[in-house]
Amino acid sequence: MKKWISTLLPITTIFVLTSFGPMGFLSNNVEVPEILKTDLDRPTLVVSEEVALEEISDNLVFLGEEFIGFKEELGFKESQGRYDTINKLGYLGKYQFGKSTLKMLGISDADNFLQSPEQQEKAFKLNVARNKWILRRYIKIFSGKIINGTEITESGIIASAHLAGAGNVKKYLRSYGREDTSDVFGSSVGYYMKKFGGFDISSVAQKHNPKF
């Protein structure tokens, strides 16, 4: 009997170890706790090149709901956040400024503007302050109202003014959405009113005729 035990014991031990592996009796189906997982355990998000940039923009939260989030999301919509871009109509930079608006802000050197992220960020903030002043009564009267299913907010009004100018925003609000203006790429005042609504941009004060 002792002879048989001494012969079978090593064989049994080998069978057990090879069946369950070095982790003892743990099954391969046991879920690893989240806190113990490494990056290799987590799925990787793969975005197809065929996914439109607009879809990415609509589904990602960038920098929150304050002014920085507002300007970065608007900059992404305008130019994918690129400071050095010029579109086919000649609009410049991250926020796609027209030369006439730049002159209004006191910027005459478009080439230098295109190469300066600092100037572009300052120009955007000045233009927000300018549009806030121009549209101050409309912001007060229409904020909180519902037009075409969208709640009107200060940030939506200012984004729409960046797209189409303050005059076209006034027309949209006065007509309660019946007079809607679109650019050559199909973006409208109503679309910007919805897409960029709800941001807190109170950190930028209204200013009459701000200059660089």
Instruction: Answer whether residue 137 shows pLDDT above 70.
Output: yes
Percentage above 90 pLDDT, the chain? 68
Provide the pLDDT for residue 45.
30
pLDDT, the chain, mean: 80
- Where is average pLDDT lowest: 63-72, 88-97, 142-151, 193-202? 63-72
- First vs last C-alpha separation in the chain: 100
Instruction: Answer whether residue 14 shows pLDDT above 80.
Output: no
Residue 87 tokens, joined: 């579109």
Pairwise CA distance, residues 162 & 127, whole Å: 8
Helix (H, G, I), strand (E, B) or coil at 87: coil
Pairwise CA distance, residues 134 & 4, whole Å: 99
Higher pLDDT, 17 or 211: 211
Q: What is the pTM of this model?
A: 0.71
Pairwise CA distance, residues 60 & 81, whole Å: 14
- Residues 91-121: tens digit of each pLDDT: 999 999 999 999 999 999 999 999 999 999 9
CA-CA-CA-CA dihedral for 32, 33, 34, 37, to nearest 10? -50
Structure confidence at residue 17 as a pLDDT band (50, 70, 90): very low
Domain regions of the chain by residue span? 62-195
Longest dimension (CA), the chain: 104
Q: What is the mean pLDDT of residues 111-132?
A: 97
- Residues 147-181: tens digit of each pLDDT: 999 999 999 999 999 999 999 999 999 999 999 99
